[in-house]
Structure 1
Amino acid sequence: MLNNLINTQDFAQLLLKIKQVGLSRIIRQLFGYRSSNRSEKWERVESPAIHWWDIPAVHRRWNTLITGNPDVDYYQYIAQKFFADRHDLNGLSIACGTGHRELKWISLLDLESVDAFDISPQRILYAQQKANSLGLDNVIKYRVGDVSKISYPKNRYDVVFAEQSLHHLSPLREIFTKIRNTLKPDGLLIVNEYVGPNRFQWGERQKEIADALLNIIPPVYRRIYKSNGIKKQIYRPGKLTMWMNDKSEAVESSQIVPLLKEMFEVLEMKEYGGTILHPLFRNIAHNFLQDDESTRNILELCFLVEDYALKTEQIKSDFLIAICQNK
């Protein structure tokens, strides 16, 4: 309908969202009762387990794809490979959210200081309180700010962290230019990102595979969060719905990799899929948190299907890790 500007599933998803988060929050997002619906969306510091990244087995899968070891995550891998001999580092984190990633990096790297920015005052307060409780207030400073508008000092940082943030930012070329300028000559940019279709406009083959896989899964595992309904098809959101819900969501996501390759030297890039699993598990991930045989078997099937589709180039990876430096 109108190049998927809006579709019939949008209305069903709106009703579901009202059940999940309440009508008042939906009204605020739709009609802009706050100064920025992007800030409103990111006020929450806790979220229900409705996404693929909430599934423990998925994390082990990521580790295997990125590091080759299900028990070694990308933080450990990058720290050991790229930072073993780097000391007294100054770091910058853009769109840091609740700050848990920065705390992980501080535990692994010799960071003298970290400047972390996010648009949400609530998340910054939460992050700073957590850092203070750990005695890290002298190392990390969380600040409220729109990272696309901040002026960063030239040649200031040894490492810049961009983790699940770039796909919310625009214009990307300007932001990458700022990152290049603020990195020291030997500084590194660490990227962990969604790089799939803009505005989650899933490709036809991607949706076809995900729909087929969804309908193999037993109905008990397809129960929708806070609903009596059963998930029956993959939702490709209308572009207008995406814009109204969060203007920043996947705004230039498909341009991240091309711009990284154009503007930086990519030292290493590790893809970890998500092309099928991300839309597949949306709103049903809470059914896959247990480590029982039935759950493991279903997850293993899903993993194998995505692996095969990636290997045979029917789809491209929607998520990746990249370590970059200035050219």
Structure 2
Amino acid sequence: MTRIITLDDFIETYTKLHQRGLGFILSKFNFNHNERAKTAFNHFNIASSNWSIIPEVKSRWNKIITSNEEMELEDFTVNEFLKNRKNLKMLSLGSGNCGSEIAFAKHPNFDLILCTDIAEKRLETGKKNAKLAGLENIKFKVQDVNNLDTNETKYDIVYFKASLHHFKNVEKLVSKTLAQVLKPNGLLIINEYVGPSRLQFPKHQIKAINKALDLIPKPYRKRFKLDIYKNKVYGPGWLRMILADPSECIDSKNIMPSIHKYYNTIYEANYGGNILQLALKDISHHFIDLDKDKKNVLDNLFNFEDCYLKNHKSDFIFGIYEPKLSN
């Protein structure tokens, strides 16, 4: 079901105005799709309150992915799947500020990690952080995947960290483009949103999200930097999604079907997000510093999502794959 416009769109616009200012809103009125997409990423010191800032949520991801809430997925990947592999070359597409890539680069298994993105300011942040960490095996390049030079280095690993859902025509990307840059025995690694395109969640999911919202006491539903409370979720509208960032979740529904069609699964962990992502949006700041009551609220939300996931596919997946020989 496609929702053209919803009440959440007006609330989101109002919120962004307070968080990022009028200039950010006006930047969305740019007819160039790439330039409009970059406005979503080329900003710094942005205050937000989404689920990824909650330490307990991050621990939950680690536990689901690695079976250890204190182990980061980069360490897990190297220790479990790359332990005996040396002189590795990794290509990261859509690297952002390269936090995950820097974590990989700290392992001696890697000779080269090339971070690419169209958002040059975020790559500059990555470059500064890598320099501070004293890393010399990580490089940075402003690069559009559509102009990728497939005649250059062949890579042992192609990595997508929250970026594959920004690419259109996913099947062509994973079957054709990646085949030209990935070694035959190479690995595709993703940590991705793989749910409905343009965040057009089905009615049953929106209904479940609102049931989860009812588990949150009113004081913890006050929106970040706003004097209003979050009482109901309507879901993002299709029109705002395109105006805000034309690349956002453009073909996300085809990510897993395409990967499973052309790649064998080595490891795959479904870590949910179907409920938590929208239920906690704009109210996550309440759950950074926990007391007993807040911890109980989060536990109830986690249990609610776990029950939901028993009958529905996960919206977020961490996976490691290898090309099928027939391809």
TM-score range, shorter chain: over 0.9
Secondary structure of 2:146's partner? coil
Correspondence list, 1:142-157, <5 A: 142-153=140-151, 156-157=154-155
How far is 1:209 from its partner?
1.2
Residue of structure 2 aligned with 1:318, choices 315, 320, 323: 315
Equivalent position of 1:23 in the other structure = 22
How far is 1:151 from its partner?
2.1
Query: 1:110 is matched by which residue type in structure 2?
Result: N
- Is 2:169 the partner of 1:171? yes
Cα distance between partner residues in 2 of 1:270 and 1:258: 16
- Is 2:241 the partner of 1:234? no
Cα distance between partner residues in 2 of 1:109 and 1:53: 28
Cα distance between partner residues in 1 of 2:34 and 2:273: 33
Query: 2:97 is matched by which residue type in structure 1?
Result: T
Cα distance between partner residues in 2 of 1:235 and 1:47: 24
**Residues 87, 110 of structure 2: 8 Å contact kept:** yes
- Is 2:206 the partner of 1:207? yes
Distance 1:117 1:33, change over 3 A: closer
Secondary structure of 1:211's partner? helix
Cα distance between partner residues in 1 of 2:87 and 2:233: 47
Secondary structure of 2:122's partner? helix
Q: Which runs of 5+ in 1 are unaligned?
A: none
How far is 1:8 from its partner?
3.7
Distance 1:183 1:3, change over 3 A: closer
CA RMSD of aligned residues (A): 1.8
- Is 2:301 the partner of 1:272? no
Query: 1:117 is matched by which residue type in structure 2?
Result: T
Secondary structure of 1:148's partner? helix
For residues 251-281 of structure 1, the C-alpha deviation after alignment (integer angstroms, 9 at most, x for no partner) is: 1111100000011112111100100001111
Query: 2:186 is matched by which residue type in structure 1?
Result: G
Equivalent position of 1:184 in the other structure = 183
Secondary structure of 1:254's partner? helix
Query: 2:241 is matched by which residue type in structure 1?
Result: M
Secondary structure of 1:265's partner? strand
Secondary structure of 2:186's partner? strand
Distance 1:43 1:155, change over 3 A: closer
Cα distance between partner residues in 1 of 2:97 and 2:259: 26
Secondary structure of 1:272's partner? strand
Distance 1:291 1:108, change over 3 A: farther
Equivalent position of 1:305 in the other structure = 304
**Residues 155, 181 of structure 1: 8 Å contact kept:** no
| TM-score for the superposition, normalised by structure 2 | 0.94
Correspondence list, 1:5-20, <5 A: 5-20=4-19
Cα distance between partner residues in 2 of 1:80 and 1:20: 39
Query: 2:220 is matched by which residue type in structure 1?
Result: Y
Worse-matched range after superposition: 169-178 or 92-101: 169-178
Identity %: 31
How far is 1:13 from its partner?
2.7
Cα distance between partner residues in 1 of 2:260 and 2:297: 36
Worse-matched range after superposition: 149-158 or 174-183: 149-158
Secondary structure of 1:108's partner? coil
Secondary structure of 1:323's partner? strand
| TM-score for the superposition, normalised by structure 1 | 0.94
Cα distance between partner residues in 2 of 1:192 and 1:112: 22
Equivalent position of 2:158 in the other structure = 160
Cα distance between partner residues in 2 of 1:35 and 1:4: 24
Query: 1:270 is matched by which residue type in structure 2?
Result: A
Cα distance between partner residues in 2 of 1:180 and 1:160: 10
For residues 148-191 of structure 1, the C-alpha deviation after alignment (integer angstroms, 9 at most, x for no partner) is: 33123367111111110000011212321211221112111111
Cα distance between partner residues in 1 of 2:172 and 2:14: 38
Q: Which runs of 5+ in 2 are unaligned?
A: none
Cα distance between partner residues in 1 of 2:265 and 2:151: 23
Secondary structure of 2:188's partner? strand
**Residues 20, 46 of structure 2: 8 Å contact kept:** no
Equivalent position of 1:52 in the other structure = 51
Query: 1:310 is matched by which residue type in structure 2?
Result: L
Cα distance between partner residues in 2 of 1:278 and 1:35: 26
Query: 1:309 is matched by which residue type in structure 2?
Result: Y
Distance 1:116 1:220, change over 3 A: same
Aligned length: 323
Distance 1:153 1:291, change over 3 A: farther
Query: 1:301 is matched by which residue type in structure 2?
Result: N
Cα distance between partner residues in 1 of 2:262 and 2:32: 38
Cα distance between partner residues in 2 of 1:325 and 1:258: 15
